[in-house]
Structure 1
């Protein structure tokens, strides 16, 4: 029996002893908004050493401390959404939430994340140590501090029951193809995000897409503020710079299994650090991130009893639920199934939701 199999058996024994098997999901950019201001102070006043370590690193670089950002009296798009600030804030909130999960109740069997959440997942699993996590997240988050490269927009790919709408899928594929035939236009699939598709492109490509996609719910297509063209060929130079700035030596064998944005599993004793470095700082920077596939593999391969989504915020709750519905996990086949089940005994626990947070931590 391999070490992986032995550890899997140990995990199952833990579940049999009464613990719930949990898949933990780390959020990406765009989840620290007006409602999340003060999240660190509100929930993590007991983690001053952790927060101060991040702030000492940032002060050395001439960056604003996250304690100061989190403690502002008013939320500011200009201050809180740039990558160099948003990435550090989100990492700190998510990592601190992970520390608070009740290990007496939950056996964490696998971790994954959406987009920037992959960097956080590396930290959760121990593939990056505390210092390495600061370095990777702060470095990659600051890469476009001198100016964004391209942008992103989001568009629904589902019906009102949170099930895949094949007509919308075909439309998005058609628009991407048509826009890329226009001179000076670039448009790509950036993220498969549950019931949504995130597109990345240059300004000309995004403008063309906005003109071609029907308006839905008076919201979509929606531009994502202060987001570059993540997970697209437009970031080839960012990938090159990231690989130069961040050595392979930062990466370690993970202590928990991880599922990446292709649905590949990185095992606890069998991960190749060169390949992990290459995937993290090349492939996932310039190629589509399939969060839907990551979730499908996570639930099918590790059979969790519940899914815990780390804060801040709860913007990832819907896409996670949509992936669970697509895979009929927990018996859910529609938005109604999900909503009714959540009222009885939540199996999707969002730590950014105060009521559900208690379920994950056992403390207010």
Structure 2
């Protein structure tokens, strides 16, 4: 039987939660732990094997980012390459750092050093944070006019799009703007606890620190194409080291991350047989499903249609789910 083509998606912040505690027991963390020990930080083994999940510890950027990276890369290594030909890689927000290593644009340990450093750098920002607002109805269909209305309100209150998940907008700005938007929004909003104003100009200090400390010579051409948060494709043998480094630590930090566009470009350009969502967790699966429904991909036009396809012949394989993981690994 011939191999199926696959788009690999790397998740970002929020994917390692209480349910994922202990999930790294099957991974070799020794090299990562050595890097953390040398820097005087708690090892991933200690964090993942803790008796209980602590939001103040496990969700802190300096710990969450390396935990997510390690889990995603362990899943990347577990994909059965006799069954799947990975034709492209993308990621959501912090998942871009994992995507760099998963696609071979940086070495595995350098990728970890990037994720580890950016977990700390993500705390360097101006006052503010993020909130989320849905633009869809209960069946994942766009509510007419709602997206445009929310974007107008965001502009009026001083918020900017941080991440576009397709059916959900992640908006960011200072605290006053967040409160003004939430009080006037025509839909319920949720403030993301502990998150900074990611992917906005308020992250300038984070970008400056990254450019000053994380070297361009860690970067190179990817082994497989990568799709970034602008929908741009970084191709093998055609990706300049300096340009990729600068995108990663300047534009990617300071400008909106359009995850929905990245998925749409990947599907239209590479037409994969499957999407493989790496762990930890499967929280990004709903957002991907909404993007597929928005595109009408493979005839999926609402939530029920997506669920029926997933039950019969899943197009999206989330490795954070035991049933779907078994369809991906040896």
In the alignment, what sits opposite 1:214?
A: 186
Cα contact 2:292–2:300 (8 A) shared by 1: yes
Identify the range of structure 1 (329-338 vs 346-355) with the bigger mean alpha-carbon deviation. 329-338
Alpha-carbon displacement from aligned partner over 1:249-289 (angstroms, at most 9, x marks no partner): 01011001100000000001100111101110000101000
Gaps of 5+ in 2: none
Cα contact 2:70–2:112 (8 A) shared by 1: no
In the alignment, what sits opposite 1:55?
A: 33
Structure-1-length-normalised TM-score: 0.88
In the alignment, what sits opposite 2:248?
A: 280
SS in 2 for 1:159: coil
SS in 1 for 2:121: coil
Match of 1:205 among 168, 177, 180: 177
In the alignment, what sits opposite 1:84?
A: 62
RMSD between superposed Cα atoms in Å: 1.4
Match status 1:113 vs 2:91: yes
SS in 2 for 1:53: helix
Pairs within 5 Å for 1:16-31: 18-31=2-15
Whole-Å separation in 2 of the counterparts to 1:313 and 1:144: 21
Alpha-carbon displacement from aligned partner over 1:122-160 (angstroms, at most 9, x marks no partner): 010111102211221111111145787421111112122
Cα contact 1:148–1:226 (8 A) shared by 2: no
Pairs within 5 Å for 1:345-360: 345-360=313-328
Match status 1:72 vs 2:50: yes
Match of 1:307 among 253, 265, 275: 275
In the alignment, what sits opposite 1:227?
A: 195
Whole-Å separation in 1 of the counterparts to 2:123 and 2:311: 43
In the alignment, what sits opposite 1:40?
A: 24
Cα contact 1:157–1:168 (8 A) shared by 2: yes
1:109 is displaced (CA, Å) by: 0.4
Pairs within 5 Å for 1:130-209: 130-145=108-123, 149-180=127-158, 187-209=159-181
Match status 1:321 vs 2:283: no
In the alignment, what sits opposite 1:12?
A: none
Whole-Å separation in 2 of the counterparts to 1:327 and 1:262: 18
Whole-Å separation in 1 of the counterparts to 2:123 and 2:167: 30
SS in 1 for 2:65: helix
**Cα 1:305/1:144, change in 2 over 3 Å:** closer
Identify the range of structure 1 (326-335 vs 63-72) with the bigger mean alpha-carbon deviation. 326-335
Cα contact 2:6–2:273 (8 A) shared by 1: yes
Whole-Å separation in 2 of the counterparts to 1:236 and 1:107: 38
Deviation >6 Å, runs of 4+: none
1:342 is displaced (CA, Å) by: 0.9
**Cα 1:34/1:240, change in 2 over 3 Å:** same
Structure-2-length-normalised TM-score: 0.97
1:165 is displaced (CA, Å) by: 2.4
Match of 2:217 among 230, 242, 249: 249
Gaps of 5+ in 1: 1-16, 181-186
SS in 2 for 1:263: coil
Match status 1:294 vs 2:266: no
1:206 is displaced (CA, Å) by: 1.0
Cα contact 1:87–1:138 (8 A) shared by 2: yes
